[in-house]
A = this chain, B = another copy of it.
Amino acid sequence: MSAASNGPAAKQHPPAAPRLAADPIAEAHRQWSAHGWGGASDGMAAVTSIMRAHQIFLARVEAVLRPLQVTFARYEVLMLLYFSKRGALPMRIIGSRLQVHQTSVTNAVDRLEAARLVRRLPHPADRRATLVELTPAGRGLAERATAALNEEVFTDTGLSSRAVADIVRTLGQLRRSAGDF
Interface residues of A (CB under 8 A from B): 13-26, 28, 31, 37, 39-47, 49-58, 61, 72, 79, 83, 96-100, 146, 149-151, 153-159, 161, 163-168, 170-181
Contact = CB atoms under 8 A, between A and B. Distances in A.
A20 B49 CA distance: 27
Contact of A83 (B31, B41, B168): B31
21 contacts: A16-B179, A17-B99, A20-B181, A24-B98, A25-B172, A28-B79, A40-B151, A42-B165, A43-B153, A46-B159, A46-B167, A46-B168, A49-B168, A50-B50, A50-B57, A51-B57, A52-B171, A56-B174, A56-B175, A159-B174, A159-B177
B50 A178 contact: no
From A18, A55, A171, residue with most partner B Cβ within 10 Å: A171
5 smallest CB-CB distances across A and B, nearest first, come from A15-B179, A43-B154, A54-B54, A40-B150, A40-B154
Nearest to A19: B179
A180 B61 contact: no
Contact of A50 (B72, B153, B167): B167
Given A20-B97, A165-B42, A171-B49, A13 B179 contact: yes
B181 A43 contact: no
A23 B173 contact: no
B44 A178 contact: no
A21 to B, nearest CB: 7
Contacts of A17: 96, 99, 179
